[in-house]
Amino acid sequence: MTTTPPPSLPSDLDGFERSAATSLDPATYRYLANGSGANVTRDANRRAWDQWTLRPHVLRDVSHISTATTVLGAAVELPVLIAPTAMQRMAWIDGELAMARASAAAGTVLVTSMAASYSVEDVAAAAPGGTRWAQMYLLRDAGRTRALAERARDAGYAAIVLTVDGAAVPYGRRRLADGLELAQPFSFPNMLLPGEPLDTPLTELVNDFDPATTAADIERLASWSGLPVVVKGVLRGDDAARAVDHGAAGIVVSNHGGRTHDGCAATAIVLPEVVDAVAGRAEVYVDGGIRAGIDVARALALGARAVLIGRPTLWGLAVDGTPGVVAVLAALSEELVRVMAFCGAPGLDSLTRDLVDPNGAVHHHA
Amino acid sequence: MTTTPPPSLPSDLDGFERSAATSLDPATYRYLANGSGANVTRDANRRAWDQWTLRPHVLRDVSHISTATTVLGAAVELPVLIAPTAMQRMAWIDGELAMARASAAAGTVLVTSMAASYSVEDVAAAAPGGTRWAQMYLLRDAGRTRALAERARDAGYAAIVLTVDGAAVPYGRRRLADGLELAQPFSFPNMLLPGEPLDTPLTELVNDFDPATTAADIERLASWSGLPVVVKGVLRGDDAARAVDHGAAGIVVSNHGGRTHDGCAATAIVLPEVVDAVAGRAEVYVDGGIRAGIDVARALALGARAVLIGRPTLWGLAVDGTPGVVAVLAALSEELVRVMAFCGAPGLDSLTRDLVDPNGAVHHHA
Amino acid sequence: MTTTPPPSLPSDLDGFERSAATSLDPATYRYLANGSGANVTRDANRRAWDQWTLRPHVLRDVSHISTATTVLGAAVELPVLIAPTAMQRMAWIDGELAMARASAAAGTVLVTSMAASYSVEDVAAAAPGGTRWAQMYLLRDAGRTRALAERARDAGYAAIVLTVDGAAVPYGRRRLADGLELAQPFSFPNMLLPGEPLDTPLTELVNDFDPATTAADIERLASWSGLPVVVKGVLRGDDAARAVDHGAAGIVVSNHGGRTHDGCAATAIVLPEVVDAVAGRAEVYVDGGIRAGIDVARALALGARAVLIGRPTLWGLAVDGTPGVVAVLAALSEELVRVMAFCGAPGLDSLTRDLVDPNGAVHHHA
Amino acid sequence: MTTTPPPSLPSDLDGFERSAATSLDPATYRYLANGSGANVTRDANRRAWDQWTLRPHVLRDVSHISTATTVLGAAVELPVLIAPTAMQRMAWIDGELAMARASAAAGTVLVTSMAASYSVEDVAAAAPGGTRWAQMYLLRDAGRTRALAERARDAGYAAIVLTVDGAAVPYGRRRLADGLELAQPFSFPNMLLPGEPLDTPLTELVNDFDPATTAADIERLASWSGLPVVVKGVLRGDDAARAVDHGAAGIVVSNHGGRTHDGCAATAIVLPEVVDAVAGRAEVYVDGGIRAGIDVARALALGARAVLIGRPTLWGLAVDGTPGVVAVLAALSEELVRVMAFCGAPGLDSLTRDLVDPNGAVHHHA
């Protein structure tokens, strides 16, 4: 990735957030920026990365640095995937379409949300050359999910991302309201069955999450779509291992950016446990609080294959559409290259666990 | 529990406290809200729950969730009991009677204080269908306690709660004064011997706590009343085990909401030790700083059978009497259901210790 | 101790400090209140006690509570000794004489400073019935120290307190100046050789501390005086054991209230190590940041025989002379009785180490 | 060192920084004071020293204290070397020349930067009697570095300091700009090949750092110059040991004062690991956040042979040129003497690891 941000765009992700906070209307910004409850988990996500201080290697040849890797066999130019986020038209006029173009331009993977405001087919058509995964929940009416899985396969998506941290959603009432008001103008073409009107409100569909979803459903998704299934929303090694036992090709360590339930563990804390439990039988990704190249390096040092970023891509979208998202990814890429050089790591496989260290620790060698 | 709070009431327990702080006169609010000393223990209680971050399970069937359990064999709709608090007429015109109605309506257990402003008999009559326990201290004049134990038994109370953390009270002089001024208009019908005037001041009776109370008194209480005895105010495993050796049917891990002495351990910190020491020979409950459904889940994950809440019930009472308390319990119930769904726990017995983790910890898997 | 403070005096030690801060001139208050450097150690002393949360015992008979003990064989009514502080006339017109009367009235031990503004003989005469120890440094001119040791013995002092944390003093220049300006009007009768004028400035004498003082000097002091020697200013187990090997009868774990050098360990942190290293061969005392009865209880639970308080006695003196100091001790005594009752400890020997617990710790019982 | 600062100069290093902040123009001050990113590492450096509380020894003879030692065989009066910093003319009219005179006057080692505004020959001529080391990077055009190494040898420099933490520099663009604007008026005579104009801009030369530098280059430097090579910028034991395997005579534990990359470990945290890994086969030095004599003592207690200070020498220069730097070193020296006396350490070899202790720790001796 050699794209450099134009001079008028912010140069780091916090700058993009500040800029987006002024260009979005306040209610939309709050909806996107906030987590659940008192934002304890959302904020813990960020701090947890900082807990891992770098112990860089020196005197290693870093005259050539590459951030390229593969995810589920597909080449990407940097190990930063675009997380699924709902209703991207909140942030930019043609939302998911602009995001898709940015993802393809940056050479990474786009994960399209089941709650996208454009259909998986339209998103695919917007940037045919890109790699796309399709995110979905298992709905009570499993036929809806199956229909989407098949459509995604037919539209050339490379994987299904099954989000599994939504079990509390059907039991909630109040908090959802904020977002739903914002959602009123949008349609959800990926959640509909053939013939259903485009303006079916999200409430019905979301309350339709199937709280009976179990690991066996991973296999169902795989058989419906013929695609590899990535399970998103895991915070424990045992759950990750069980998901892999049931056919998961990838695990996303995620607490939904702190949006589903406050008070749960930060992803940077539990990532090593999940990596160890999966033991190379699947790829492990992580999201939550990643805001700089150093965080990407930390995640990979802890064993992640790649990271996903959600909110920052929305800030990029809000600031400048496709070029804004490209600039966000370019900033991360440039920062990642620098931190790799600093750590003596010419390639991503040199980002090994010994490079990170919980920063509070004092080393005794008495 | 399916009761939902009416739209005008606060939606969570902190909202109830804020609302009560404006509806109560300032001196009363301070008396109820404050702990002892610099409130170190009171505040540590709350923070200590937050130390236990959730490590939720996913991919478990939570299509049916129940918060029902039993305490000492009695069915309750949720594992949140109403802690004994003195002089509830401070908060609402008919104090304990309104509280009793709320407890019965919510399907839980009411613990009536020895320092109630209504008699155990009146409280029983206010909500005959509810389950009630009677809290008491052993007074120097043990006959007073025995009389109350027998009255409680006769009035259909299901258990005696013996509070054992009051040994410092007879040695105190100054701090008690604040509350006693507030107490002037109230009578203490449960601390009197037959024939004593209703207006006997609390000072005499409270200074009458017997500092010679020992574990053998648990057996005395049991033999007087024929009821199971729950020992409240334990912060150590060894003390808990000793109490069980002397016949305690239940242990309440409690520091009296930080009111008896500042500087002692938070209940969420010592709960696991007590649970392990009791080893299933009695039920273990806990109070102190529980303000949300997630705290209830944490307590049960750490091995508590149920929790008690004190101040929040007073805030509910102060805000709206019986419906206020019902709304407090309904808010906790709704939050508990959501966190159980989030954790993959269809029933309370699925709230196991692996679900919680001290949040400061960084997991090494080097 | 049954003395109760008159209603007009503060009721706790922080109240006495606030009151003294207004009654002393600002420069004097600052000189007395401040430690060295950025006050890191002074403030760490206080916080360190708070680190030890209480794990109180319940169901123990505390109908009779006694705070009495002995120190070096002398009976005291409470385990709180009066630390040596210089030039007490800064705080009250007849300084050390008023302090001596308070100490005797409260039934504890007075440690008279080598830098007192009254002679050891005058101090003894002010309260003949009290127990007194005489604090001293070894000066370069050892004859001065020997002369004081002999005078103290002749004046009925029960022990010599040898302060050993002053080795940096002869190497200092600047910081001393503040205090010395304040010291100008005072004389130092305990540092003089016979015939020297009373107005010999402190500078000369203090710069005269012998930096060659070693453990062998403990034996010298003992042989000169025939009295037991207490070594004050130890922060390590190995040093304490060495001092005892050389005849020390007592060890004061002390960092001089943070006044000699900033950045050293808090006394509450190192106390257990010293207690274990001494292993009962001598008595161990501690000072630094003790401001409440709970701190006294913590210190004794960690193995101290008694504590010393310095600044609080000066605040008492500044507020009301002898009755002020008595009130300070009475407040501590009352608080100590309450915390003992709370902990199920009828006597000081029931204050055992299991009662305290570092409060940050979360107990795992997975 | 017996020089005392004249009364008008600040008395400690923080005072020098405050004074320099007013005498330098704001942009220059910011450039010198700031680290990279959010200054997390720069600030962590300072805090990390404070983490090591002192456990001083008492009752040791400190009537004679010496801060003298040797570094690479050369005698120094105190274990505080002057770190290499670029373009010292930013701070004082004749920059490096004034610094050289101060270093010689204070009896310590001057490390001259490759990016000095004066040539190594001019610096040598400014204070011929002093000990000097020459700092350099390996540039892509290795001939430049070789030329400097040979010039340094010929000018009587005693060692080469090879900085190895610059691998990220060639990959950076934006952040460098601030400093380069400031650098415009300066020339870089030590980075030029014979015949190149003095006004060649730093940008080209700095972007010329060779990212292919490896441990084998240590041997190259040694063979070019015939001088011992000190490797600066190591934060890990394994890297340090590898450098020594390749002939390093000294290791500087350094994160470049937090200037090269934010988020890496504080030097005080990793120092013990490096000392243990080197195991006496080379000398270990450390820089980063050392601002007081106690920090010097801590570093030596943890096994450093000496420390380097960078920014404080610039503050001294900015405040008063040569006398300002001398005063900075004198302040550290005086503080070091005091802390050595306080710790019972007559010489630097008495500063042993048992004297320091991570201050958060509570010692259990249950």
C235-256 confidence digits (pLDDT tens):
999 999 999 999 999 999 999 9
Residue B287's closest CA among B30, B150, B118, B83? B83
Confidence (pLDDT) at D69: 98
More confident residue, C5 or A112: A112
pLDDT category, A24, cuts 50, 70, 90? very high
Q: How far is CA C137 from CA C141, C143, C171, in A?
A: 11, 12, 16
Confidence (pLDDT) at A178: 55
Extract the tokens encoding A206. Answer: 């979301």
Q: Which residue of B has its CA nearest to A138?
A: B59
The length of chain B, given as a count of residues:
366
Quick check: C171 pLDDT over 80? Answer: yes
- Rounded to an integer, the average pLDDT of A238-253 is 98
Across chain A, mean pLDDT equals 92
CA distance A250 to B349: 31
pLDDT category, A186, cuts 50, 70, 90? confident
Q: Which residue of C has its CA nearest to D11?
A: C174
Extract the tokens encoding B77. Answer: 């709709």
pLDDT category, D297, cuts 50, 70, 90? very high
Query: In this predicted model, what pLDDT tens digit does every residue of A136-161 receive, in sequence order?
Result: 999 999 999 999 999 999 999 999 99
B165 and C365 within 8 Å at the Cβ level: the answer is no
Residue A362 has its nearest CB partner, among D51, D215, D234, at D51
Q: How far is C25 from chain D (nearest CA, A)?
A: 26
Confidence (pLDDT) at B105: 98
Question: Looking at the complex, does the CB of residue C364 fall below 8 Å from at least one CB of chain B?
Answer: yes
pLDDT category, B365, cuts 50, 70, 90? very low
Extract the tokens encoding B250. Answer: 């239940």
Residue A31's closest CA among A82, A84, A90? A90
Confidence (pLDDT) at D361: 47
Q: Do chains D and C touch (3 or more CB pairs under 8 A)?
A: yes
Residue C186's closest CA among C88, C325, C316, C85? C88
Extract the tokens encoding D105. Answer: 């006057």
Q: Which residue of A has its CA nearest to B12?
A: A37
CA distance A231 to A135: 10
CA distance A165 to B57: 9
pLDDT category, B208, cuts 50, 70, 90? confident
- Rounded to an integer, the average pLDDT of D311-320 is 98
SS3 string of chain C?
CCCCCCCCCCCCHHHHHHHHHHHCCHHHHHHHHCCCCCCHHHHHHHHHHHHEEECCCCCCCCCCCCCCEEECCEEECCCEEECCCCCHHHCCCCHHHHHHHHHHHHCCEEEECCCCCCCHHHHHHHCCCCEEEEEECCECCHHHHHHHHHHHHHCCCCEEEEECCCCCHHHCCCCHHHHHHHHCCCCCHHHCCCCCCCCCCHHHHHCCECCCCCCHHHHHHHHHHCCCEEEEEECCHHHHHHHHHCCCCEEEECCHHHCCCCCECCHHHHHHHHHHHHCCCCEEEEECCCCCHHHHHHHHHCCCCEEEECHHHHHHHHHHHHHHHHHHHHHHHHHHHHHHHHCCCCCHHHCCHHHEEECCCCCCCC
Question: Looking at the complex, does the CB of residue A168 fall below 8 Å from at least one CB of chain B?
Answer: yes
Residue D59 has its nearest CB partner, among C239, C275, C354, at C239
pLDDT category, D8, cuts 50, 70, 90? confident
Quick check: A360 pLDDT over 70? Answer: no
Confidence (pLDDT) at A183: 64
Question: Looking at the complex, does the CB of residue C18 fall below 8 Å from at least one CB of chain B?
Answer: no
pLDDT category, D204, cuts 50, 70, 90? confident
Looking up tokens 């007490």, which residue turns up? C88
Confidence (pLDDT) at C173: 58
Cβ contacts of D341 on chain C, cutoff 8 Å: 167-168, 170-171, 211
Please tell me which chains touch C, using 3 or more CB pairs under 8 Å as the contact test. B, D
Confidence (pLDDT) at C286: 98
pLDDT category, B179, cuts 50, 70, 90? low
B59 and A164 within 8 Å at the Cβ level: the answer is yes
CA distance C239 to D343: 12
Query: In this predicted model, what pLDDT tens digit does every residue of D28-45 receive, in sequence order?
Result: 999 999 999 999 999 999
B242 and C59 within 8 Å at the Cβ level: the answer is yes
Quick check: B124 pLDDT over 50? Answer: yes
Across chain C, mean pLDDT equals 92
Q: How far is A157 from chain D (nearest CA, A)?
A: 35
Confidence (pLDDT) at C179: 60
Quick check: B8 pLDDT over 70? Answer: yes
C59 and B172 within 8 Å at the Cβ level: the answer is no
Please tell me which chains touch D, using 3 or more CB pairs under 8 Å as the contact test. A, C
Quick check: C314 pLDDT over 60? Answer: yes
Quick check: C352 pLDDT over 90? Answer: yes
More confident residue, B250 or D198: B250
pLDDT category, A194, cuts 50, 70, 90? confident
CA distance C11 to B366: 54
Mark which residues 209-268 of C lie under 8 Å from D by CB. Answer: 210-215, 217-218, 231, 233-236, 239, 242-243, 260-266
Choosing from C57, C64, C246, C256, the catalytic residue is: C256
Q: Do chains D and A touch (3 or more CB pairs under 8 A)?
A: yes
Q: What residues are paired with D284 via a beta bridge?
A: D251
A365 and D276 within 8 Å at the Cβ level: the answer is yes
What percentage of residues in chain A have a pLDDT greater than 70?
A: 92
Residue C81's closest CA among C183, C301, C232, C243? C232
CA distance A76 to A61: 23
Cβ contacts of D234 on chain A, cutoff 8 Å: 58
Cβ contacts of A260 on chain B, cutoff 8 Å: 342
Cβ contacts of D333 on chain C, cutoff 8 Å: none
Phi, psi of B276 (to 5 degrees): -65, -40
Confidence (pLDDT) at A6: 53
Confidence (pLDDT) at D201: 76
Cβ contacts of B243 on chain C, cutoff 8 Å: 59
Is residue D360 within 8 Å of residue D51, measured between CB atoms? yes
Question: Looking at the complex, does the CB of residue D203 fall below 8 Å from at least one CB of chain C?
Answer: no
Q: Give the angle A95-A96-A99 at the CA atoms, nearest 5°.
A: 95
Cβ contacts of C214 on chain D, cutoff 8 Å: 59-61
Quick check: C131 pLDDT over 70? Answer: yes
CB-neighbour burial class of residue C359 (10 A; exposed 0-12, middle 13-18, buried 19+): buried
D261 and A54 within 8 Å at the Cβ level: the answer is yes
- Rounded to an integer, the average pLDDT of C156-173 is 91
Residue D265 has its nearest CB partner, among A62, A357, A364, at A357
Query: In this predicted model, what pLDDT tens digit does every residue of B158-172 receive, in sequence order?
Result: 999 999 999 998 887
Confidence (pLDDT) at B93: 93
- Rounded to an integer, the average pLDDT of C59-81 is 98
Q: Do chains D and B touch (3 or more CB pairs under 8 A)?
A: no
What percentage of residues in chain A have a pLDDT greater than 90?
A: 84
Q: How far is D262 from chain C (nearest CA, A)?
A: 27
Q: How far is CA C313 from CA C16, C35, C113, C124, C347, in A?
A: 9, 16, 13, 18, 25
Q: How far is A46 from chain D (nearest CA, A)?
A: 13
Q: How far is D59 from chain A (nearest CA, A)?
A: 23
Confidence (pLDDT) at A4: 52
CA distance A347 to D270: 25
Confidence (pLDDT) at C181: 66
Q: Which residue of B has its CA nearest to C53?
A: B264
Q: How far is CA A15 from CA A35, B236, B276, D37, D246, in A?
A: 20, 51, 50, 13, 44
Confidence (pLDDT) at A180: 59
What pTM was estimated for this model as a whole? Answer: 0.95
More confident residue, C364 or A296: A296
Question: Looking at the complex, does the CB of residue B21 fall below 8 Å from at least one CB of chain A?
Answer: no
Contacts 24+ apart (CB under 8 A), B176-185: B176/B203, B176/B206, B178/B27, B178/B30, B178/B31, B179/B31, B182/B27, B182/B28, B182/B31, B182/B87, B182/B90, B183/B86, B183/B87, B185/B89
A338 and D165 within 8 Å at the Cβ level: the answer is no
Q: How far is D58 from chain A (nearest CA, A)?
A: 21
pLDDT category, B361, cuts 50, 70, 90? very low
Quick check: D94 pLDDT over 80? Answer: yes
CA distance C273 to C282: 14
- Rounded to an integer, the average pLDDT of D181-190 is 79
More confident residue, D199 or B128: B128
Q: Catalytic residue at C57?
A: no
Quick check: D362 pLDDT over 60? Answer: no
Q: Which residue of D has its CA nearest to A7?
A: D174
For residue A283, give the amino acid letter.
E
Tell me the count of A-D CB pairs closer than 8 A. Answer: 103
Query: In this predicted model, what pLDDT tens digit does every residue of A296-344 receive, in sequence order?
Result: 999 999 999 999 999 999 999 999 999 999 999 999 999 999 999 999 9
Phi, psi of C357 (to 5 degrees): -155, 130
More confident residue, B182 or C19: C19
Q: Choose the weakest-confidence range: A286-295, B347-356, D4-13, D161-170.
A: D4-13
Q: Which residue of D has its CA nearest to C259?
A: D342
Q: How many CB atoms lie within 10 A of CB A198?
A: 10
